[in-house]
């Protein structure tokens, strides 16, 4: 059943599946030399602090394997202020690894390299393979 006024058509239209139902969440870490880690989430799931902790541990291994000596210098993450990124357990992991998170205002267009570099390339790739 659906609510409608007296002039509404009685036949209901079937809703089409939206593109967002097919989307997949991916976390990408990179530095000036290139991509360090790409982590795909299971379709239909959302990231939480536990998942992000596991991802940070994978990132540490990726840095050890791909950028030898980088862990002896300071590692600074640029991530937004989403709840999984600001959870207490994430702060503990960052302190344990001796990493810092770059403090910046939310929705800062000056500090959004993904919008300009990564997403543009991903959209071009997606369009080419449709």
Separation CA 43–CA 25 (nearest Å): 7
pLDDT digits (tens, 9 = 90+) for 53-88: 999 999 999 999 998 877 777 888 887 777 777 788
CATH superfamily of the 25-129 domain? Ribonuclease H-like superfamily/Ribonuclease H (3.30.420.10)
Distances (CA, A) of 95 to 32, 85, 100: 23, 13, 8
pTM to 2 decimals? 0.66
Q: Which of 2-11, 39-48, 64-73, 90-99 has the highest mean pLDDT?
A: 90-99
Give the domain ranges of the chain: 25-129
Look at the alpha carbons of 43, 31, 67, 64 in this order and tell me if their dihedral is positive or negative: negative
Look at residue 92 in the predicted model and tell me its pLDDT.
93
Select from 18, 22, 74 the least CA-distant residue to 44. 22
Confidence of residue 5 (pLDDT cuts 50, 70, 90): low
Residue partners of 12: CB distance under 8 A and separation at least 6 = 2
Q: In the beta sheet, which residues pair with residue 37? A: 29
Q: Evaluate whether 26 touches 41 at the Cβ level (below 8 Å).
A: yes
Q: What are 12-23's pLDDT values in tens digits?
A: 666 555 555 667
């Amino acid at each position: 059943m659906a609510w409608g006024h007296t002039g509404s058509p009685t036949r209901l239209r079937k809703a089409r599946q939206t593109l967002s139902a097919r989307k997949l969440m991916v976390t990408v870490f990179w530095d000036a030399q290139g991509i360090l880690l790409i982590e795909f989430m299971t379709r239909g799931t959302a990231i939480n602090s536990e998942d992000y902790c596991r991802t940070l541990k994978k990132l540490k291994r990726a840095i050890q394997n791909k950028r030898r000596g980088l862990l002896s210098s300071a590692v600074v993450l640029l991530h937004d202020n989403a709840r999984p990124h600001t959870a207490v357990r994430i702060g503990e992991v960052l302190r344990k690894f001796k990493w810092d998170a770059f403090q910046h205002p939310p929705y800062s267009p000056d500090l959004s390299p993904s919008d300009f570099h990564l997403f543009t390339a991903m959209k071009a790739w997606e369009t080419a393979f449709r």
